[in-house]
Structure 1
């Protein structure tokens, strides 16, 4: 699967559709959704991973329910910019969504370095959440953080083209 550029995404997504942000981990997938103008990301849920078929079905249902036209998937790049086994796992998930589950919408990757730790710091410092409550929200919040980063980049690109 050839990587799409995040800046091409608005041209590939039908008008009035939204973007889905995913933070795929080994045990969970954090899920967030954008507004139709691609300006604001909101966390919506955390999927507890099970078999691929069940996970893909849940993502398909979310895509249909939320009118999704594209997916921004967090890519856990190493701090030095290299890609390790976790990146390969995320890339395989994206390929399987396309090739096995039949997803026909574009999927792009967004560098998620430090997203979970940034969200954790916020939840501890600003939101003063307990460890149990943080565990319940950190994955979907990280998905929103990843998606918001991509949305901000798209907005900056759009502002520079006019």
Structure 2
């Protein structure tokens, strides 16, 4: 499987566990990073990378992938509420294309609509101050994005990789 924009269906069919997956919430100033457990059940916020320039950002991400022995990257795709792709989605796709030039890891897009809002709500419920929330929200959003992919992968792994149950074949 190449670093081209793979799909979750392809990951379900081709990746072997145990291995970690890395989730990313790409922003203009930061990149939130989360990691899965090797069984693909849970995502955990890991860190927030302050963006400098692409080469430095990519080196930081790939170092995390190496350290965590990641098998794939799940990249949040910021679609508009109507499902259309705006400028942020185009920038995310451009980032994916550039990153794919530097790694053989599959990079899969995952819809990230409302992930930051959900992360903020969860952090507020924990009574976290605004200052502390600002420091960690992107990593928590990345964990929400990654958990969405893990939940979908769990369904796909129980089927033939297309979402259709193997029981009826």
User: The TM-score by the shorter chain falls in which range?
Assistant: over 0.9
Partner of 2:121: 121
**Aligned equivalent of 2:77:** 75
> Aligned partners of 1:157 and 1:66: how far apart in 2?
24
Q: Distance in 1 between matches of 2:137 and 2:143?
A: 10
- Would you say the 8 A contact 2:22–2:65 is kept in 1? yes
CA distance in 2, matches of 1:116, 1:74: 11
TM-score using structure 2 length: 0.89
Unaligned runs of 5+ residues in structure 2 are 160-164
**Which residue in 2 is equivalent to 1:98?**
100
Separation (CA, whole Å) in 2 of partners of 1:131 and 1:143: 18
Superposition TM-score, scaled by structure 1 size: 0.92
* Deviation for aligned residue 1:8: 1.6
**Count of aligned pairs:** 159
Picking from 83, 86, 89, the partner of 1:87 is 89
Question: Is the contact between residue 23 and residue 73 of structure 1 (CA under 8 Å) also seen in structure 2?
Answer: yes
Offset from partner CA, 1:1-52 (integer Å, 9 cap, x none):
8642212213333432211000000000000011111111111100000011
Are the counterparts in 1 of residues 5 and 106 from structure 2 also a CA contact under 8 Å? no
CA distance in structure 2 between the partners assigned to 1:12 and 1:52 by the alignment: 29
SS of alignment partner, residue 79 of structure 1: coil
* 1:78 CA drift (Å): 0.1
Give the superposition deviation at 1:86. Answer: 0.2
The runs of 5 or more residues in structure 1 that have no matched partner are none
- The alignment partner of 2:127 has SS state of coil
Secondary structure of 1:78's counterpart equals coil
1:94-125 Cα deviation digits (max 9, x unpaired): 100112xx21010000000000001111111x
Q: Is the 8 A contact 2:4 2:107 kept in 1?
A: no
- Cα distance, 1:72 vs. partner? 0.4
